Amino acid sequence: MSAAAPVRAKRVLPGFTLTLGTTMLYLTVIVLIPVLALILKGAEIGPARFWGIVTAPRTLAAIRITMTAAAIATVINALYGLLMAWVLVRHDFPGKRLLDALMDIPFALPTAVAGLSLTALYSANGWFGAPLEAAGIQVVYTIWGIVLAMTFTSIPFVVRSVQSVLEDLDPALEDAAFTLGAGPWTTFRRVVFPAILPAWLGGIATSFARSLGEFGAVVFIAGNLPFKTEIASLLAFIRLEEYDYAGAAAIALVLMVFALALLLVSNLIQIWASRHAGGPR
């Protein structure tokens, strides 16, 4: 009796060629063409003029402020995001579902609305700004306002990255560590943290990239003070308003290079994470 022919699994979506062609068309129109247009616009400037634009004192100051604020915001998100993910996964308390839903507000809320709200709250007569001003701490129109806006818009990337891994982590690993005499800190350091490290680093990289490109939430709270609170994306917008398309393209191209570099780092982290998950235990 001959063996039964293998039964092909039914697919909900059409065949590979059609689905791949549709996704590649979408990727080309939405992502690749705008990126290519930006690269071509930057190439039209010429190396000498491009270098002159990106090394101008105001441009360098804007990039430095952007990188500094994004780095500070990322450090805050790395620590707070890890703690928040731990609380949401490992503890049960009243309002947990609400707190979990609040983590997605930066995704759903328009960034301009977030910027206006933060400016109102931390201004000299705001709910939080008034006592801070009385203590000699100014937030609005300083780099700390930029950090606050970047932190608000990028915190979910770290929380959600770590949260999903913590939820899938086998509790038996921690139980075994406790059985062998390890304390809570040793168990976290030797068992839990290595498991969540790839996701944590990936969330940090994505959070930093998101902060670099933030505009809407920062534009209101920063105050647009050249050499003090002017970020790179805002300077590119100003160049557009001045009809300096070459200057705007050069600054935008620099930001895109930083973003692509961070994307590469994030992808390498994900590759490392997949190999780590599939390695020997």
Cβ–Cβ < 8 Å for 161, 200:
yes
Written as one letter, the residue type at 100 is D
Maximum Cα interatomic distance, the chain, rounded to a whole number of Å: 90
**For the residues of 165-187, what is the DSSP string, one character each?**
HHHHS-HHHHHHHHHTT--HHHH
Cβ–Cβ < 8 Å for 125, 45:
no
Cβ–Cβ < 8 Å for 181, 231:
no
CB-based contacts of 121: which residues, under 8 Å, 6+ apart? 127, 128, 129
Residue 276 has pLDDT above 70, yes or no: no
Would you state the pLDDT for residue 64?
Answer: 93
Would you state the pLDDT for residue 151?
Answer: 93
Q: Count Cα neighbours of 67 within 13 Å in the Cβ-side half-sphere.
A: 11
3 state DSSP class of 14: coil
Span 164-201, pLDDT tens digits: 888 888 777 776 777 777 777 877 777 788 888 888 88
Q: Count Cα neighbours of 57 within 13 Å in the Cβ-side half-sphere.
A: 3
User: What backbone torsions phi and psi does residue 172 show, to the nearest 5 degrees?
Assistant: -65, -30
Would you state the pLDDT for residue 71?
Answer: 93
Would you state the pLDDT for residue 69?
Answer: 93
Please state, as a whole number, how many other Cβ atoms lie within 10 Å of the Cβ of residue 79: 11
Per DSSP, 6 falls in state P
d(CA 128, CA 122): 5
Positive or negative, the CA dihedral 27, 33, 34, 39 is positive
Q: Give the mean model confidence (pLDDT) for residues 1-13.
A: 54
Cα first-last separation, the chain: 43
Residue 49 has pLDDT above 90, yes or no: no
What value does the mean pLDDT of the chain take? 82
Q: Give the mean model confidence (pLDDT) for residues 63-91.
A: 92
CB-based contacts of 184: which residues, under 8 Å, 6+ apart? none
Q: With the CA atoms of 24, 25, 26 and 28 taken in that order, what torsion angle do they form, in degrees rounded to the nearest 10?
A: 80
Q: With the CA atoms of 109, 211, 27 and 46 taken in that order, what torsion angle do they form, in degrees rounded to the nearest 10?
A: 130
Is the model more confident about 44 or about 154? Answer: 154
Threshold 0.75, pTM exceeds: yes
pLDDT grade, residue 83 (50/70/90)? very high
Residue 261 has pLDDT above 50, yes or no: yes
Would you state the pLDDT for residue 8?
Answer: 54
